Structure 1
Amino acid sequence: MWQVRFLFDEYALDVDRRELHRGQVVVPVTPQVFDLIEYLIRNSDRVVTKDDLISTIWSGRIVSDAALTTRLNAARNAIGDTGEKQRLIKTLPRKGFRFVGAVREVRGSAHEAVGPVERTVDTPPRLSIVVLPFANLSGDPQQDYFVDGVTESLTTDLTRISGSFVIARNSAFSYKGRAIDVRQVGRELNVRYVLEGSVQRSGQRLRINAQLADASSGLHLWAERFEKPVAALFDMQDELVSRLANTLGTQLVEAEARRAQRTPHPDAMDLYFQGRAWLLKGFSLECLTQARSFFERSLEFDPGNVDSMIGLANVDSIVANSFTTDDGSARLIAAEAMANKALSITPNRAAAHLARGWVQIFTNRAAQAVRGLEHALVLNPNAANAHAALGCAKFYMGRAAETEGHIREALRLSPRDVEAYQWTCIVGVAKLLLGSDLEAVGWLRRSTEANRNFPLAHLTLAAALGLTGALDEARTAASTGLALHPGFTIRRFLAAKQSDNSIYLAGRERACEGFRLAGVPEG
């Protein structure tokens, strides 16, 4: 039998014996206080919200703020901390709590000396980043207000990324005008990533350069240039910041997934990031299978991990909407239950509202989905994928002519988004339903060229090509889609009761005609 102990300050938390030791002395704590200390330590790489604590420690029961404060004070007293000093347990106003002490995890046999350290010591939190003040390269000091505005807005918008730890504006601006080494910044602020940038205005054009660096190695992970004609400066600032925030969200997830692959003992968040990275690759059978495996393993480690709940809900929704299985209804029921569970823990998580919105779209509740998606955009105005989902909802409501406008808004906010191939496919479907087959082909080719691992885009392209008379190309596209998802059949496509709108149903019949011309199996 293995023992797990967390060592910090003068204390040792023995997980297996459920004992807190100070030196050789056992410190008496109630079971609930022990659970609270253990949970904070195991999640010391992030800020733990009140909802997280209630869900895990109190199993979701209603708990007053006074009761929560009492337990936190008892935990602090047990480990020699106070609410004033907060050496080990820090309260972050309006955000939550974080264990900030240096922790070592040691494992060993119950019959032998405790083994070597397995866990990192005082490592920076995951998704921790500082946005350094962007440099004004315009040669015009009066442009400083715009450049500083970009830096401040981006700092604010990055905090909307789930689990992110973003250094506050005042600390970041202490580096303004200084020659810096990103590795030194990383050590001083205890962050994993540093974002640098510059803004240059020349005549009527504005150029923004941004670079994301690994703070431990100093290596650049990503660089991008954004260039636009100068119009209304503040409107443009909002758009550029949104584009940067959307792109950075994906880049940070991928960077964390690469770190997780090298971790010998992954935890729930390591597994989540790997699952998310697989889902970002595409919707092929392999991608979905791998993503599901990582999300499920993450939830085995931490049943309260909201990110993995949302990930699993999305996988089930995607599988149900791939028309490759006869248990699509059961998948959607499971997806909605998981999304609702996530929302019960974190009711203001935009991604959870989005996950539930997709289920509602696919279960003949598109109008209800629209309300939830609009609320998600209130919570996170940068959620370009929520605009895309609105576009999808509209064609199920018989309003396919509105779809393109929603997708163009998503692309405006995040033109190089890793999920943009899904959005262009949505427009392609809308055009097909409207009878604009040549336009559909253009949008669907754009989707397949952006990501070859999206079976539905290939299959919808096959239908559109079939209706235009390009039968050889249609059959090739169908073969590609079926290779990625062999279970797709026209019978399964028709069996999905996604909408009873008569306009949509008429368009669906056109799609089926195209499938047949392309050689898609009837099933």
Structure 2
Amino acid sequence: MPGSDADIFVSYKAEDRARLAPLVKSLESEGLSVWWDADIGGGSSWRQEIQEQLEAAKCVIVAWSRRSVGPEGEFVRDEAERARRRGTYLPVCIDDVAPPLGFGEVQAIKIKGWKGDPADRRYQAVLAATRGIIAGERPRGPASTHRPVVGRRALVVGGAAATLALASGTWFVFGRRSAGESNSIAVLPFANLSGDPDQAYFSDGIAEELRSALSRIPGLKVIARTSSELVRDVDARAAASTLGVGDIVTGSVRRSSEMIRITAQLVDGGDGSERWSQVYDRPIGDTLRIQTEIANQVAQALSLTLAEDGVGELSVGGSANQKAHDLFLQAEAVLQSSPNVGTFRRAITLYDAAIQNDPNYAKAYARKAVVLTELTGSESNFADWDKGFADAEAFARRAIQLAPNLTNGHSALAFVRWYRLDFRGALAEFRRANSLPGADGESLANYVFFLGALGFSAEARDLADRFIALDPLNPRAHGTKARMLFYAHRYNDALKAAQIALKLVPDREPTISVMGDSLLLLGRLDEAEAAYSRLPPDDLYGLASRAIAAERGGDHAASTMLLEKARRLYGLSAIYQIAEVHAQRGEMSEAFAALDEALRVRDPGLTGLRKDPFMDPIRNDPRYASLIAKLNFP
């Protein structure tokens, strides 16, 4: 409940914001109003607003951490001194630190490792002391608020070896820090301190751009976006343990109409100590240089050597035009929300605007190529496919022309060629992209699926494991591995990978589909039907798989009803799936008629024809070999 008459002011280093969020939330649930700079308004009067709130608060909770007691914590010490003079000072320690000299007369309450349990004695001590100060009681001396130190085992269970609560409510640990992880890192989402929630796209985008830059540093493993964002609300040590990395980068972004402040820290994931930190106060438009400087400083702190031109390579394909960069980040945020035809079109509009502001923005061309391919493939007007895919290929080629070493450019061209059924050209570009630093999760997912569908099983498996190592909490990583294993006819292994993905996100439809298909081909019809029942009733893949399951269960009429429903709802968009059903029903002529139609409209579903288990019944037919030859598989 922020406001000018807030009961409590929270003073802390901006980089500790996520660690203080449970405390703020808990205090607000007690009916107390809390102000912290997450509530600050936009504009250029930050310090004035902070001073007004500090002077008005009845209690000032000062969070002492490794950062706030260090050289960069002068603002926290200043706020603590003002609160002490007014008799509103209440210190808490969120790390194993002592308050700076001069602030020891009031015992700090130790809440390190506390995760939000309101029954915890540490929180109850903070709550009691807060209410006392609000009621006008002077804070008491060192012995008065002391609480027993939590035992080492409890800290390990609740902190350094923390498990992660995901959206599914399932708790599990994916990684542990080890000596071999010294050159592995995760960039957590940067805190948005601009006072406007709508600016979150910018702070999240800055973090993603930094991941991209760091991923270009030889010898450095960088955790991808999805997994990094899922640990945004845990401390650095817990995040490092969960993701299995050696170090964590955290930071914050605050911008006004004229200035931007980006703060970044490199934190040792083993002991939580700060290895490097820097505050950048720059004019708007300097973000590209800041990102490059941060990546360079992190490399130096990790004792990684960049080549002579390595610093320039960190920002390959980017833009120094602030307006273009901002529009690009907006487009990326739109796609993060929900990828569908509407968001594809909105993102393309934003990419176009970015390119208009910077005609040499290689990343914008590459991303537009991918999204235009997705949009074109989602449309049922096949007459427009040739133009849509040709335009997308031109944008991908432009990205490569502008930045030949841009990984996203080559993976975008691979994606377009794949959809145009140029499998040999797609494979060459995927391999080129994979040879360059900076691959993102989306590119790896596409490459794994493509390799698995074409039958490059060993290569696909190795790449799938690499994808999972870079994005261990991303359900798509495990789901893509499941589909690859399904194409390899390893149904039990596919089922295990799908189950891991569904622990992360229980309702992810592509994973439910591959789980059901694996169960179906293992002969576990009842379990397969149960899986398919979790899909939307009109889901195309669910309709086709249920039609196959019904046929295998001896209900030909139900199979036909489901097949016709798919044909009626989706028309030519379902032609490859219709061919699968006919193949499984032993209807060879109908299967090949559907496949011929799929070839006529250039359906990308034909990618799987060579290894798709549902097509096994037709492989000995001479028409199958003829069709494979026409597709010119590598």
**TM-score normalised per structure 2:** 0.38
Please identify the structure whose Cα radius of gyration is greater: 2
**TM-score normalised per structure 1:** 0.45
